[in-house]
């Protein structure tokens, strides 16, 4: 395989894929990525927290709990033993929920081979520290190159072979720039790339990870408005202004606004805000239709990443003095018990702002009091 992450006008250089990959996490996304890597002629070891699920994957090439309609490549072998799956690993994908990412990284300390690159596939911001997922892994596992994979990829579609793309980000040091085809980023990119799954490279870890964390919160907002009876204009406005919130937070942390306009930002945001396949969008719709949180998902304890991220994202934004009114609205509803109708009425009646930041213009909203009646009428 070849990769074309090179200066303009240069010929693509060949990159050498990793031959033995370990995937930590046998949920839908972890299983899908293991299947994808195996299709790219990589020997894949998949770690499952549950021994019975590992046994099922090995015996039937199926993951009936999380990806029931996909026949998993026979090149994927599963185990509930971390030492076994990491024994000969050349690279690792860490595909666990964001709330347990630190715990998972700690568990790898004594088992992961020295210097093995780690790609974080969780999306979020740690509540207690405000750290990104890659920063947590770097802190817990020093000496390992750490990257992040993010983009508009529903696991079921990815595993089914629908053409998909995502961004793979690593920090590029001087040696990587002098010898890019042998960088962890390039080698991981060709390890995961198949005829249907295409990766793009980035050296902006912050921008890529902020897109993944914030998009879930915006998707809840879009779901709430759709559940309350609003239509496509409303969703398009929330996506666009949500993108601006992503850009502002990424830039404040040292990321690039340009990154957020790529697959890990607007790409993932558009997908997550457009389909009830997204748990975030689905939760928002159920809340917007009037259900209490406890009644959503038929009362099942479904983990929705954007629910926790609504608080961690806004906590971080407040520390950095970055205005994020849509994320603040979602936080107020989910964590402060505020009504959906009045919360979004306040957002819609905020002072009129200029879109180009250079204008720096704000004027009073002429219909701020009438706005609330629109939201109350639809919501009730």
Q: Hey, which residues are catalytic here?
A: 215
Nearest to 248 by CA among 304, 173, 321, 297: 321
Show the 3-state SS of the chain: CEECCCCCCCCCEECCCCCEEEEECCCHHHHHHHHHHHHCCCEEEEECCCHHHHHHHHHHCCECCCECCCCCCCCEEEECCHHHHHCCCCEEEECCCHHHHHHHHHHHCCCCCCCCCEEECCCCECCCCCCEHHHHHHHHCCCCCEEEEECCCCHHHHHHCCCEEEEEEECCCHHHHHCHHHCHHHHHHHHHCCCCEEEEEECCHHHHHHHHHHHHHHHHHHHHHHHCCCCHHHHHHHHHHHHHHHHHHHHHCCCCHHHHCCHHHHHHHHHHCCCCCCHHHHHHHHHHCCCCHHHHHHHCCCCCHHHHHHHHHHHHHHHCCCCCHHHHHHHHHHHCCCCHHHHHHHHHCCCEECCCHHHCCEECCCCHHHHHHHHHHHHC
Contact between 24 and 118 under an 8 Å Cβ cutoff? The reply is no
Nearest to 59 by CA among 44, 74, 37, 80: 74
> Following CA atoms 246, 277, 279, 26 in sequence, which dihedral angle do they give, to the nearest 10 degrees?
-100
């Amino acid at each position: 395989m070849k990769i074309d992450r090179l200066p303009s006008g240069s010929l693509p250089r060949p990159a050498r894929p990793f031959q033995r990959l370990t995937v930590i996490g046998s949920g839908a996304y972890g299983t899908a990525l293991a299947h994808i890597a195996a299709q790219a002629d990589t020997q894949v070891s998949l770690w499952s927290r549950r021994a019975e699920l590992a046994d099922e994957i090995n015996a039937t090439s199926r993951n009936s709990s999380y990806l029931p309609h996909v026949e998993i490549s026979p090149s994927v072998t599963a185990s509930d033993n971390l030492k076994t799956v990491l024994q000969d690993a050349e690279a690792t994908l860490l595909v666990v929920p964001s709330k347990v990412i630190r715990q998972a990284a700690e568990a790898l300390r004594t088992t992961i081979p020295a210097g093995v690159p780690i790609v974080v596939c969780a999306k979020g911001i740690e509540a207690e520290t405000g750290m990104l997922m890659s920063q947590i892994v770097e802190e817990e596992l020093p000496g390992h190159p750490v990257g992040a994979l993010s983009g508009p990829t529903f696991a079921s579609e990815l595993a089914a072979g629908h053409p998909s793309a995502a961004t793979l980000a690593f920090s590029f040091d001087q040696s990587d720039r002098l010898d890019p085809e042998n960088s962890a980023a390039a080698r991981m990119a060709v390890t995961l790339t198949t005829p249907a799954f295409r990766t793009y490279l980035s050296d902006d870890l912050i921008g890529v990870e902020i897109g993944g964390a914030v998009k879930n919160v915006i998707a809840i907002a879009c779901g709430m408005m759709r559940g309350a009876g609003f239509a496509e204009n409303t969703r398009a406005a929330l996506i666009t202004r949500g993108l601006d919130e992503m850009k502002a937070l990424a830039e404040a942390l040292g990321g690039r606004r340009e990154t957020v306009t790529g697959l890990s930002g607007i790409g993932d945001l558009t997908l997550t805000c457009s389909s009830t396949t997204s748990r975030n969008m689905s939760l928002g719709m159920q809340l917007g239709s009037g259900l209490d949180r406890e009644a959503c998902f038929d009362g099942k304890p479904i983990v929705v990443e954007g629910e926790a991220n609504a608080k961690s994202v806004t906590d971080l934004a407040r520390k950095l003095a970055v205005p994020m009114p849509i994320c603040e609205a979602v936080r107020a509803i989910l964590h402060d018990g505020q009504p959906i109708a009045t919360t979004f009425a306040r957002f819609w009646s905020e002072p009129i702002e200029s879109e180009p930041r250079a204008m720096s213009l704000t004027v009073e909203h002429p219909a701020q009091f009438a706005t609330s009646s629109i939201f109350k009428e639809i919501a009730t």
